[in-house]
Amino acid sequence: MSLEPVYKRVLLKASGEALMGGQGFGIDVTVADRIASDIAEARHMGVEVGVVVGGGNIFRGVAVASKGGDRVTGDHMGMLGTIINALALATSLRKLNIDTVVLSAISMPEICESFSQRATLYHLSMGRVVIFAGGTGNPFFTTDSAAALRAAEMGAEAIFKGTQVDGIYTADPKKYPDATRLDRLTHQEVLDRGLAVMDVAAVALARENSIPIIVFSIHEKGGFAEILTGGGLKTIVSDN
Ligand SMILES: Nc1ncnc2c1ncn2[C@@H]1O[C@H](COP(=O)(O)OP(=O)(O)O)[C@@H](O)[C@H]1O
Ligand SMILES: O=c1ccn([C@@H]2O[C@H](COP(=O)(O)OP(=O)(O)O)[C@@H](O)[C@H]2O)c(=O)[nH]1
């Protein structure tokens, strides 16, 4: 029995670290395949899906800068990492016969299409999963900000932040095991309480555009579909 989804058009943010699985670096194909199967389930329910993939499993600009490298070059490396991840996830989706297109914020026409809002809306209307690669295309930003930006551009009803933990806690649960999960917050509360599950710029952009953020664990098989039908463990960030 499959339940009706509560949402029709959503943006899923999958962190690069999630794709790494148990490895120290790179992409674990079994994890990419599993995340793809969750996205396929959403498509089979008729939900239109845009995906922003992170790149933290390959490079982070700050890590390059902390070892004496140039931050902007480091961020360029990070953004290229997100494109590698996007191609891997697209491959996993196509293995499941899910029509998928990669749109990159950094033009590389031999490899994938360039991002535009017009292309995004066209591909969504054709029933394709749209994977947004290259973050925002600018250094000093994150793929969380790209998620908020693309969600606004595609008219997503909500941002689904698939992460290592099953919601927003009173403090980072990895550092504070006594922290408790919060069911509901406003964007302003996330900012005021410094709940660092998503960066400030991303939360502020989502707030400006009245887009709810739903934080859930990307590691639960079938979790995305469950959250889409209104169930599952999660935190909802919304102003109403
Ligand atoms: N208040 C909080 N509630 C939940 N997670 C938090 C909180 N503060 C920090 N975090 C951390 O934020 C991480 C989620 O961000 P995510 O984007 O998945 O990871 P990364 O930034 O490494 O890519 C969690 O793994 C968690 O350790
Ligand atoms: O708009 C963006 C998005 C990403 N990045 C770079 O790409 C890296 C990987 O992205 P992110 O850290 O957001 O990935 P995630 O934490 O989701 O794996 C970042 O550290 C930045 O160096 C960037 O410069 N601009």
Residue-wise pLDDT tens digits, 54-65: 999 999 999 989
Domain range spanning residue 226?
7-235
Q: Is residue 240 part of a domain?
A: no
CATH code of 13's domain: 3.40.1160.10
Ligand minimally distant from the alpha carbon of residue 53: 2
Average pLDDT, the chain: 96
Whether residue 172 is predicted with pLDDT greater than 70 in this model: the reply is: yes
If residue 68 lies in a helix (H) or strand (E), which one and from where to where? none
In a domain, 196, yes or no: yes
ipTM of model: 0.94
List the one residue out of 57, 58, 51 whose CA is nearest residue 12.
51
Looking at ligand 2, which atom is closest to the CA of residue 137? Answer: 1
pLDDT digits (tens, 9 = 90+) for 82-103: 999 999 999 999 999 999 999 9
Give the distance (Å) from ligand 2 centre to CA of residue 3: 35
Is 122 annotated as a binding-site member? Answer: no
- Choose which residue among 25, 160, 170, 172 to substitute to test ligand 1 binding: the one with the highest number of ligand atoms within 8 A of its C-beta: 172
* Residue 240 pLDDT level (bands cut at 50, 70, 90): confident
196 lines ligand 1 (CB under 6 A): yes
Give per-residue pLDDT as tens, 11-49.
999 999 999 988 889 999 999 999 999 999 999 999 999
Q: pLDDT tens-digit profile of 187-225?
A: 999 999 999 989 999 999 999 999 999 999 999 889 999
Among 165, 166, 185, 195, which residue has the most ligand 1 atoms within 8 Å of its CB, making it the best to mutate? 165
User: Is residue 96 a part of any domain in this protein?
Assistant: yes
**pLDDT score of 3:** 76
Rg (Cα) of the chain, in Å, rounded?
Answer: 17
Residue 158 three-state SS? strand
* Residues 149-152: contacts with CB under 8 Å, at least 24 apart: 149/205, 150/11, 150/50, 150/52, 150/120, 151/11, 151/50, 151/206, 151/209, 151/211, 152/205, 152/209, 152/211
Q: Does any ligand 1 atom lie closer than 6 A to the CB of residue 195?
A: yes
Q: What is the pTM of this model?
A: 0.96
CA of 2 to the centre of ligand 1 (A): 31
Considering every ligand atom shown, identify the ligand nearest to the alpha carbon of residue 55 and give its number.
2
The token duo for 226 is 């469950």
Cα separation of 164 and 186, whole Å?
Answer: 21
Tell me if 175 is assigned to some domain: yes
pLDDT in tens, 123-169: 999 999 999 999 999 999 999 999 999 999 999 999 999 999 999 99
Q: Let me know if residue 1 belongs to a domain.
A: no
Answer yes or no: is 2 within a domain.
no
107 pLDDT exceeds 60? yes
Domain count for the chain, please give it. 1
Contacts of residue 194, Cβ cutoff 8 Å, sequence gap at least 6? none
Per the domain annotation, does 50 fall within a domain? yes
**pLDDT band of 2, cuts 50, 70, 90:** low
d(C-alpha 13, C-alpha 35), whole Å: 11
Per-residue confidence (pLDDT) for residue 125, from 0 to 100: 97
| Ligand 1 midpoint to CA 177 (Å) | 13
Residue 179 is predicted with a pLDDT of 97
Distance CA 1, CA 17 (A): 32
Closest CA to 117 of 138, 103, 99: 103
Residue 162 lies in a domain: yes
| Alpha carbon distance 238, 208 (integer Å) | 11
